[in-house]
Amino acid sequence: MNVFIKVHDTLLGVRVEQLRLKKGLSQEQLGKTIGFPERGIQIMETEYFSEVSAHVMMELAKALNVSIDELTGKNDNNLTTKTGG
């Protein structure tokens, strides 16, 4: 059974992209690290998601060395958005 985390009005893809770039990882490298296809990372960074599997969120947080709260926007930790500064 898959468990999903509601992402409520966040720009998850923007956060993933910013954190990935901050760590100096390519989409391919991040995908390999979390066991997710590169195309999946590309889609994640360019599409809006309202929920993501808990497993993927935990692997992303671990690979990017952040909390799930930072990924979901509950703790922005000085990240910027494409629409804001």
Using an 8 Å Cβ cutoff, are 27 and 41 in contact? yes
Position 43 scores a pLDDT of: 85
Q: Which of the pair, 14 or 83, is modelled with greater confidence?
A: 14
**pLDDT at site 31:** 95
Residue 85 clears pLDDT 60, i.e. is over it: no
pLDDT at residue 82 tops 80 = no
Contact 52, 4 (CB under 8 A): yes
Provide the pLDDT for residue 14: 86
Interval 18-75: pLDDT, tens:
999 999 999 999 999 999 899 989 888 887 666 778 888 899 999 999 998 888 777 7
CATH entry, 4-72, from 1.10.3720.10, 1.10.260.40, 2.60.40.10, 2.60.120.650: 1.10.260.40
